[in-house]
Structure 1
Amino acid sequence: MPGNSILLGPRSQLPAAASKQDFRRRKRGLQSLLGQPDLLGFTWPPLAVIQVHLLPSFSSSPGLCLSVTMLLLAPRLLPLLPLLLVIGTGGSVPSPQTLPQGCYRAEEAGEQTFRCSRAGLSAVPNGIPNDTRKLYLDANQLASVPDGAFQHLPALEELDLSHNALVHLSGAAFQGLEATLRHLDLSANQLASVPVAAFVGLQIQVNLSANPWRCDCALQEVLRHVRLAPGSGTGIVCGPEARPDLVGHEFLLLIREEELCGTGRGGTRRSTDVALFVTMGGWLTLVVAYLIRYVWQNRDETRRVVKRAPPVRPVRSEDSSTLSTML
């Protein structure tokens, strides 16, 4: 602006026609310019305007005058510095949250979905949006799920961890999802056993098929806390870590015949059978004892009756002859 250059330059550069009144008028114009809001709506304090009154004292030093001018204008340029840097580098404003590689957001059936299928993940990724309702981490290389891995997802309803390499599941893996999680897919992993604590408090439908299950009491307890996904029960088969006589058998068929949460190899059912046999043996013993006592009592009674009977007199030969003659 011509007015600014004349005012900020050395006093010796002023035209001869410039009077003191003209100098004051140009100074007031600069003051009104510095007092206006900038592009972002900021109005800078009047300190920058007050400094204008000091400019005439630097009329003998043009370099010093230029430095003061830059100091006066610098506060007005600071809010625009990020935009200037972006324009200068030819880039774009970075996203506030970078998505993991191979993952993307989508809206499926009106619900926020986050898919990381076949993304080569070896751990649960960071940067999952908090409003995610459906999370797909299937077909990766996840080997474990640590404590509270999904507790920052308060709206999560469906979680797919199928076709991974899960061998361990923490007891607090699904902590924080008790009120929202409804569907969980753990199929086609390497799970031999899972802690019951991981499912306590959850009201979920779970798919546990295609895992090498140990078929132990822990798995039986898990099934008491969850509902199996339709058609997935036949896929819960005992793996190589199970008892030799259970390997290859369907778990649901086994627990219909045998209770696995008892003591000993056969579990509670075998203990129940033993108790039944003992009870039956006790009753049989009582019956036999009663019969023996009954027999002995009858024997003693028979002896007493025999003793009380009158003796039989022998028939004499004379009586016999008299009787025969009379006949």
Structure 2
Amino acid sequence: MALPWSSTPEQCQPVAMLQSADHLLSLLLVIGTGGSMPSPQAPPQGCYVAEEAGERTFRCSQAGLSSVPTGIPNDTRKLYLDANQLASVPAGAFQHLPVLEELDLSHNILAHLSGAAFQGLEGTLRHLDLSANQLASVPVGAFVGLQIQVNLSSNPWHCDCALQEVLRQVRLAPGTGTGIVCGPGARPDLVGQEFLPLAGEEELCGAGRGGARRSTDVALLVTMGGWLALVVAYLVHYMWQNREETRRPLKQVPVLPMCSKDPSTLSTAV
């Protein structure tokens, strides 16, 4: 007589088969992943994933980061890396985040942005905060193709041609324009002044790559204009000369008297 809690060999067979199937599945997973069991990458210390207003958010505020962290979920829509020790943003740092809409890099020590720092975000990124960093200049190419609203306040700007070109490509976050002030590296007459009024009054791209391009264009236009003026002047002179020729009366050719050495012919004529 079998005890109530005892199990017969027939009852143990399904359990053994399930254990064997689980073992086989685990073995296949190990082989498929190159010999190691897959494990989700944990976020860096001080970072966490959250749902804010129904959107996936990755927060790494005040996490002591010195570089852009790895392990950010690729469905992140809002990324906060503010109040860290980030000194630069390399090329393609966020290109693995195809739906990123908002990026906060404020209150770091950013002094350099790669020209391709925001590569891959052209179709999604809408808000970018670069305030309270150490940015003196930024490459114009870093913002090409981005449809963003950006905060550039509280940086020691050189107030150069590059910044003027950037402001022509982006929209400033409301109320942040007055915070774009020329820093110690700017021209002595610009230090401490707000940049927006200066950018509206003065063309800062008169020298350097952007200015050289404009100077070349102007020189080409002037040269073409000079040649056109010469052609017009020649045509006017040609038409005026032809008109004078048509108005001038024809000169009559004088008829010379016929002279003959024969006296008889002369007397006969008389």
Q: TM class, shorter-chain normalised?
A: 0.5 to 0.7
**Structure 1 residue 256: Cα displacement:** 1.9
Aligned to 1:39, what secondary structure does the other structure show?
Answer: helix
Residue in structure 1 matched with residue 105 of structure 2 by the alignment: 161
**Matching of residue 120 in structure 1 with residue 99 in structure 2:** no
The one of 6, 9, 18 equivalent to 1:39 is 18
* 1:140 positional shift: 0.2
2:43 corresponds to: 99
In structure 2, the partner of 1:190 is: 134
User: Following the alignment from structure 1 to structure 2, what is the Cα–Cα distance between the partners of residues 203 and 80?
Assistant: 46
Shift of 1:34: 6.7
Q: Distance in 2 between matches of 1:80 and 1:150?
A: 33
Task: Find the partner of 1:139 among 64, 80, 83.
Answer: 83
Instruction: Figure out how many residues of one structure are paired with residues of the other and give that number.
Output: 195
CA-CA distance at 1:97 after TM superposition: 1.9
Q: Could you say if the C-alpha distance between residues 78 and 198 of structure 1 is closer, same or farther in structure 2, counting changes exceeding 3 Å?
A: same
What CA distance in whole angstroms lies between the structure 1 residues aligned with 2:94 and 2:111?
18
In 2, the alpha carbon distance for the partners of 1:200 and 1:77 equals 53
Q: CA deviation at 1:245?
A: 0.4
The question of whether the paired residues in 2 share the 8 Å contact of 1:199 and 1:226 is answered with: yes
Aligned to 1:257: 201
* Higher alpha-carbon Rg: 1
Stretches of structure 2 lacking an aligned partner (at least 5 in a row): 1-7, 28-36, 216-270
Q: Secondary structure at the match of 1:218?
A: helix
Distance, in Å, in 2 between the alignment partners of 1:38 and 1:178 is 53
CA gap of 1:36–1:214, structure 2 versus 1, over 3 A, is closer
**Paired residue type of 1:168:** H
* Letter matched to residue 189 of structure 1: N
Q: Secondary structure at the match of 2:18?
A: coil
Distance 1:130 1:230 in 2: 29
Shift in CA distance, 227/40, structure 1 to aligned 2, threshold 3 Å = farther
Q: Which residue of 1 aligns with 2:218?
A: none
Cα pair 1:220 1:260 within 8 Å, conserved:
yes
Deviations 1:1-31 (A, max 9, x none): xxxxxxxxxxxxxxxxxxxxxxxxxxxx989
TM-score by length of 1: 0.55
Residue pair 1:208, 1:235 contacting (<8 A) in 2 also: yes
Please tell me whether the aligned partners of residues 40 and 79 of structure 1 are also in contact (alpha carbons under 8 angstroms): no
**Cα 1:243–1:80, aligned 2, differ >3 Å: closer, same or farther?**
closer
Distance 2:134 2:179 in 1: 13
Query: What's 2:150 paired with?
Result: 206
Which residue, out of 237, 246, 261, partners 2:181? 237
Give the whole-Å Cα distance in 2 for the aligned partners of 1:260 and 1:161. Answer: 27
1:263, distance to aligned residue in structure 2 (A): 3.3
Name the counterpart of 2:262: none
* Distance verdict in 2 for CA 1:246–1:39, change over 3 Å: same
Compare the two structures and name the one with the higher helix fraction.
Answer: 1
Residue type of the alignment partner of 2:66:
S
> RCO (CA 8 Å, sep 6+): is it higher in 1 or 2?
2
Identity across matched positions, percent: 78
What is the distance in 1 between the residues matched to 2:189 and 2:15? 88
Q: Which moved more, 1:169-178 or 1:96-105?
A: 96-105
**1 CA distance for matches of 2:205 and 2:67?**
33
RMSD, matched Cα: 2.9
The one-letter code sitting in structure 1 at the alignment partner of 2:18 is L
The runs of at least 4 consecutive aligned structure 1 residues that moved more than 4 Å come to: 29-37, 76-81
Q: Secondary structure at the match of 1:38?
A: helix
Tell me the amino acid that sits aligned with residue 39 of structure 1. Answer: L
Q: Secondary structure at the match of 2:99?
A: coil
